[in-house]
Structure 1
Amino acid sequence: MRALTRRAVIGLGAAAAAVPPAGCAGPGPHGATRAEGSRPGGGDRSGAPGPEPSKRARPIGDGSTSFTGRQPHQPARPVPLEPGRTPPQFVVFSWDGAGEVGNGLFPRFLDLAKEHGAHMTFFLSGVYLLPESKKRLYDPPNNPRGACDIGYLTDDHIKDTLRNVRRAWLEGHEIGTHFNGHFCAGPGSVGNWTPRQWRSETEQAMSFVKEWRTNSGWTELESLPFDYDRELVGGRTPCLLGQDNLLPAARELGWRYDASSPGGRQVWPSKKQGMWDLPLQQIPFPGRSFEVLSMDYNMLANQSLNSTNAPAHHHPRWREQSTRAYIAGFRRAYETNRAPFFVGNHFEQWNGGIYMDAVEAALKHIAREKEKGGDVRLVSFRQLVDWLDAQKPQVLDRLRTLDVGQEPAGGWKDFLKATGTTTATGPREPA
């Protein structure tokens, strides 16, 4: 995204000393910028085996992908919210890059999701399925052929990523896109791309997913069990840059949503250029007078001023602060306007892995609320827009009248009656 300030996101609050863009990190090998799922890492790098695809599997193209029927483990078909009912509390955890690089984070969160009946969105970077030996197949707009600011994965890590992406889809998760080269600065920045260039970038990202077998020559691995042309209905741009020019290209490709807006508020979403606009959100930052964007990197940027390896004695306090921020954001929505809550992440061990621990702790807290009987739904972006598209426009319009932390006057039974003119109460502070 554009420079996040320590007080708020540009355009959403008073500016202060700027910190670097969301989703970026420090220098990687050969001076590249290291970000989501980059190559360094240790530990178990294998993806756990996933469920088998349907026997109706039909190879597509070179067999990199295949049609296996309806995706398993999907919720029931959504229906319109009945008058007087309380809206569900939707929560979407999403992952930028979605590469498995030896740190075991991809399977860790697949296991966690399975344990708690959660679905997530994985924004896969297309270049994470392209061997570095074939990097000149990538022709990024306004950058040299083969350039990539997040680097290429090793062959072994590409194979692990393929196994985990396959498992993710078979367990009901969504596979979106984080595009390719992650260019966030200079004249080649994605913020400068035209709609035509975004179309080229998107089609290349799709091709690297649909043609990994041709590009790698690997025949021993199973195909991805989905038709990516049908599966891909949304994405998130690098550093949350360039949404305005991406949207015309995305609309041509039939996308249903975009998650690239440079910061939003905890209110019910609306459409932008015909697609659902689903931004990361400002949420309370415990112990501070300003709010923080609901992404792990933005926690880091405000805590350690972009250092991904800060002194360890800070880690317990920062882990607790990040956990409490996510929970405060969830509770503010859950106890007031029920706006969908969005959290963005990277498979990274920044500052000792504290942000991964915070995300896990927050997800477990939210899952406990679901288990208590509250209508809390841990879903993918695709599943959320399925629900939104099933609602009556007047119901969504009514929900959008609720501001951040604002409860419906008289309660939900009166607020969402088929007719009525009740108005919202004032904001309610988070617990």
Structure 2
Amino acid sequence: MRDISRRSLLGAGLGTVAAVGVAGCNSSGASRAGRPGPGPGSGTTGSDGKGEGRGRGRKDVREIGDGSTADTGKQPNQPPAPVPLEPGQTPPQFVIFSWDGAGEVGNGLFSRFLGLARDHDAAMTFFLSGLYLLPESKKTLYRPPNNGIGASDIGYLADDHIKQTLENVRQAWFDGHEIGTHFNGHFCTGSGSVAGWTPDQWRSEIDQAVSFVTEWRTNSGWTDLDPLPFDYRKELVGSRTPCLLGQDNLLPTARDLGWRYDASSPGGTQIWPTKREDVWDLPLQGIPFPGHTFEVLSMDYNILANQSQNSTRGMPSRYPEWRRQAVQSYLAGFDRAYESNRAPFFIGNHFEEWNGGIYMDAVEETLKRIAGKPDVRLVSFRQFVDWLDAQDPAVLAKLRTLEVGESPDGGWNTFFNQA
């Protein structure tokens, strides 16, 4: 089996990284510690699991622009304001589950994981592809950098699936999740690849992604649907690029836009993060891969690439084995951080049923097995950087001295007092 992930971790073999992202969207389309107030399903959601007062007739809703989005006030289901670590305190174990594309294509995966998160008091980040809210009949509105008008390497969604995506994104925000961006056309290869985009071209792509989210009502003509319940220009503080490519030229634009993080870098390791261009760099990480001497990137497609050589319909007889291996890999990555340096653990996913849906089952089992453990916080990227920004920079610098799998010498009680 090819050592695909190990080569990407070493910074070689860009084709490997591209392979991670080429199928990296819908190709057809532990608790949060100290969370205040009632849990999911009470107060902010009705008996049908849908957010209360989502209708356009609410008096406390201030529609924005054409009514595609609205200011509905403070986002529900958020943890308390973060506080600095106390001397000798063990850092929380942050785990962030994120979803690239975040479109509903009729397989029910978006709502499935909203329900799972609700059951386990977890927050996640959904990196929404702007094109998933643009009807294909209006595809000429999209002018991708270095590509033809309306071009896209992912499919446009059917109208019914756009409506389902809107409903799920709306519910996700009410449930307390973050809505980031996965940009638009997902170009991974050739002269139009995002790898070669300039900072100005990234700005054009971002502006278009925002417009597709904030003007879906105008573009679709649908006036009978509720608005998305947030101001997307304020909501949007982070991203993941297609194929994990192009971050170097994206970061200056992200900084100028005031974004707080980017989760695009491939081949990170399980250490505490730092900033690049004044933006938190939160890379997918190498984690143990049972049965192999190399590590695999903490994303469903990268595990698939090593198991079935990029085939999304590999040998069904091996699905149970591959599912177990995926779970074991995720848990090994979690345990390594949890039992040592407490570095945050990032898991990337797609709403796809690759290889019989085993990766969806694997991430669900992983979440269930780590939720509720002491000190574990299942949060969004935005909630995590809220915590980072609340810490003493000297404390974060000290945490970054711990290597992968390295426990603090003398324990956490003395770690921050050491010279």
Q: What TM-score, normalized to structure 2? A: 0.92
Structure 2 vs 1, CA of residues 16 and 191 (structure 1 numbering), >3 Å: closer, same or farther? closer
Aligned residues: 397
| CA deviation profile, 1:344-395 (whole Å, cap 9, x unmatched) | 00000000000000000000011142xxxx1100000000000000000000
Question: Contact (CA 8 Å) 1:20, 1:306: kept in 2 or not?
Answer: no
| CA deviation profile, 1:46-104 (whole Å, cap 9, x unmatched) | x9633435752100000000001110000000011011000000000000000001000
Q: Hey, what does 1:303 align to over in structure 2?
A: 307
Q: Hey, what does 2:19 align to over in structure 1?
A: 21
User: What's the offset of the Cα at 1:5?
Assistant: 4.6
Matched, 1:362 2:366: yes
| CA deviation profile, 1:17-62 (whole Å, cap 9, x unmatched) | 958521323xxxxxxxxx422337xxxxxx9633435752100000
Structure 2 letter corresponding to 1:380: S
Q: Hey, what does 1:413 align to over in structure 2?
A: 413
Unaligned runs of 5+ in 1: 26-34, 41-46, 422-431
Q: Hey, what does 1:161 align to over in structure 2?
A: 165
Aligned counterparts of 2:274 and 2:293: Cα–Cα separation in 1: 28
Alignment partner of 1:216 out of 216, 220, 232: 220
Structure 2 vs 1, CA of residues 14 and 149 (structure 1 numbering), >3 Å: closer, same or farther? closer
Structure 2 letter corresponding to 1:37: N
| CA deviation profile, 1:242-290 (whole Å, cap 9, x unmatched) | 0000011111111000001122000000000000000000000011111
Question: Contact (CA 8 Å) 2:97, 2:125: kept in 1 or not?
Answer: yes
Q: Hey, what does 2:292 align to over in structure 1?
A: 288
Q: Hey, what does 1:260 align to over in structure 2?
A: 264
What SS does structure 2 have at the residue aligned with 1:176? strand
Matched, 1:404 2:404: yes
Aligned counterparts of 2:113 and 2:212: Cα–Cα separation in 1: 24
Question: Contact (CA 8 Å) 1:174, 1:382: kept in 2 or not?
Answer: yes
RMSD: 1.8
Aligned counterparts of 2:358 and 2:59: Cα–Cα separation in 1: 41
What SS does structure 2 have at the residue aligned with 1:179? coil
What SS does structure 2 have at the residue aligned with 1:385? helix
| CA deviation profile, 1:123-166 (whole Å, cap 9, x unmatched) | 00000000000000000000000001001000000000000000
Question: Contact (CA 8 Å) 1:149, 1:183: kept in 2 or not?
Answer: yes
User: What's the offset of the Cα at 1:311?
Assistant: 1.7
Q: Hey, what does 1:60 align to over in structure 2?
A: 64
Aligned counterparts of 1:19 and 1:66: Cα–Cα separation in 2: 37
Aligned counterparts of 2:6 and 2:141: Cα–Cα separation in 1: 39
Alignment partner of 1:138 out of 129, 138, 142: 142
Matched, 1:390 2:390: yes
Structure 2 vs 1, CA of residues 12 and 398 (structure 1 numbering), >3 Å: closer, same or farther? same
Question: Contact (CA 8 Å) 1:148, 1:181: kept in 2 or not?
Answer: yes
Q: Hey, what does 1:32 align to over in structure 2?
A: none
Question: Contact (CA 8 Å) 2:197, 2:246: kept in 1 or not?
Answer: yes
Question: Contact (CA 8 Å) 1:38, 1:152: kept in 2 or not?
Answer: no
Matched, 1:8 2:6: yes
What SS does structure 2 have at the residue aligned with 1:93? strand
Matched, 1:190 2:197: no
Question: Contact (CA 8 Å) 2:4, 2:306: kept in 1 or not?
Answer: yes
Matched, 1:124 2:113: no
User: What's the offset of the Cα at 1:14?
Assistant: 8.1
Q: Hey, what does 2:45 align to over in structure 1?
A: none
Question: Contact (CA 8 Å) 1:38, 1:101: kept in 2 or not?
Answer: no
| CA deviation profile, 1:160-202 (whole Å, cap 9, x unmatched) | 0000000000000000000000000000000000000000000
Q: Hey, what does 1:428 align to over in structure 2?
A: none
Structure 2 vs 1, CA of residues 16 and 345 (structure 1 numbering), >3 Å: closer, same or farther? closer
Matched, 1:49 2:17: no
Matched, 1:314 2:318: yes
What SS does structure 2 have at the residue aligned with 1:407? coil
Structure 2 letter corresponding to 1:249: T
Structure 2 vs 1, CA of residues 17 and 346 (structure 1 numbering), >3 Å: closer, same or farther? closer
Structure number with greater CO (CA < 8 Å, separation at least 6) is: 2
What SS does structure 1 have at the residue aligned with 2:94? strand
Aligned counterparts of 1:277 and 1:339: Cα–Cα separation in 2: 13
Matches within 5 A, 1:374-385: 374-385=374-385
Question: Contact (CA 8 Å) 1:19, 1:302: kept in 2 or not?
Answer: no
Q: Hey, what does 2:33 align to over in structure 1?
A: none
Q: Hey, what does 1:44 align to over in structure 2?
A: none
